[in-house]
Structure 1
Amino acid sequence: MKQLDWYFDFISPFSYLQSELLHTLPADVQINFKPVLFAGLLQHWDNKGPAEILPKRTWTYEHCAWLAHKHGITMQPPAHHPFNPLPLLRLCIALGITPEVVHRLFRYVWREGKLPTEEANWQELLRELHASPEMLNAPEVKQQLRSNGEQAVVAGVFGVPTAVVDNRCFWGLDSTDMLMAYLRGDPFFDSDAFKRAQTLPQGIQRNR
């Protein structure tokens, strides 16, 4: 049985879309769900999120709308984006990071278009999941989220969603087919072409 760590943040529409495709992975793959703070990864790797670059922001939402259409996934974005995902991440951890909780929280944002800052909607969700605000502030919950971020960095995760299997990262929704091929044992991953891609020397670097 393959072990797969799936790193995600509820702020990410690409994470939502891939979450809706995880059921297509081989049945013998065990998925370990790893909620992480995307902003922490961006800060560590000195990177910007797609919503922070104006033309890329527009393209991202257009692309996600197309991908949802392509895969037949219902998608209704929230009233604004980005937003603070910490309450959702902590709630997910407090409730045990089960697949059911992960999907429910993703759909809360990206299927129902709701945010944790919308008090009435948020309180309704907490009641539905039998959760309390105090659960989100538990020290062990906060520590688990920090630990997940540290594990992600060690694994080389720089964005979400990322699947890590056999110490190999598959980043983004667009890598889903590549991940599937790897899990099926596609011989390409032992080919000279793939090995050359791993060892391409670095050329010039732009000034910062």
Structure 2
Amino acid sequence: MNTAGPTEWFFDFISPFAYLQLEQFDRLPATLDIVPRPMVLGALLNHWGQKGPAEIGPKRVFTYRYALYRAQTLGITLRIPPAHPFNPIKALRLAIAMGSSLDVIRRIFRHIWHDGHEVGSPEGFAALCEAMGCRDGLADVEAQQVKDLLRANTDRAISLGVFGAPTFVLDGELFWGEDATGMLLHCLREPGWLASDEVRRVSTLPVGIQRA
């Protein structure tokens, strides 16, 4: 595994697991060149024909419980906003308008998932802009170049095979989910693991049966 190039991190503010993963970035090597990519998870789900976890009743309850469990296990403050799922589009555009730095992204995530604020309503988004110190945020998120970059990030995610959030993409390999952080670290320490015989075997298993 060649780690000379950047490591893309695809995320959506709608995901509590993206927040939990970001809060663990201090576990990653300082030499890792992380390029954040705000994207629209809903567009990915539509592309792959998937339902989101919150669209399946029992899975929705489990997802919130598991997110809370992970947060408590990791010692990370998590306060789920008052309604979920919510519309994350403007928050994603705001991150792009403000430069998509990890600092900006972290502050937005913490506003939502640490402090428990909603950002889907006009009032909630205006409060986010105020908290971020972005006086022109309401106008900035309507700029065509901002919209185009969010779409380009989402299209790139699809082209790379990304199917969920959060996802690291390193050398074309996908590491999906907060709980795959350890797998990414393992592959950085053991660069030959993905090329090992058993990993190669399970990566090319034939499909035994398909649903009609």
Cα deviation 1:162-207 (Å, max 9, x = unaligned) = 0000000000111111001111234322210111011101111012
* Aligned with 2:66 (options 58, 63, 66): 63
TM-score (norm 1): 0.95
What one-letter code is carried by the residue in structure 2 that aligns with 1:21? Q
2:90 paired with 1:87: yes
* Aligned with 2:133 (options 122, 129, 134): 129
* Aligned with 2:118 (options 115, 118, 128): 115
Return closer, same or farther for 1:194/1:149 CA change in 2, 3 Å cut-off.
Answer: same
Aligned length: 207
Q: What's the C-alpha RMSD, in Å, of the aligned pairs?
A: 1.3
2:18 paired with 1:15: yes
Q: Distance in 1 between matches of 2:22 and 2:135?
A: 23
Cα deviation 1:146-171 (Å, max 9, x = unaligned) = 00011001110000000000000000
What one-letter code is carried by the residue in structure 1 that aligns with 2:197? D
Aligned twin of 2:187: 182
Q: Distance in 1 between matches of 2:96 and 2:43?
A: 17
Q: Distance in 2 between matches of 1:170 and 1:9?
A: 15
Q: Distance in 1 between matches of 2:83 and 2:50?
A: 22
Aligned twin of 1:154: 159
1:130 aligns to what SS in structure 2? coil
Q: Which runs of 5+ in 2 are unaligned?
A: none
2:57 paired with 1:45: no
CA contact (8 A) 1:25 1:180 kept: yes
Q: Which runs of 5+ in 1 are unaligned?
A: none
Return closer, same or farther for 1:54/1:109 CA change in 2, 3 Å cut-off.
Answer: same
Q: Distance in 2 between matches of 1:50 and 1:4?
A: 26
Identity of aligned residues (%): 43
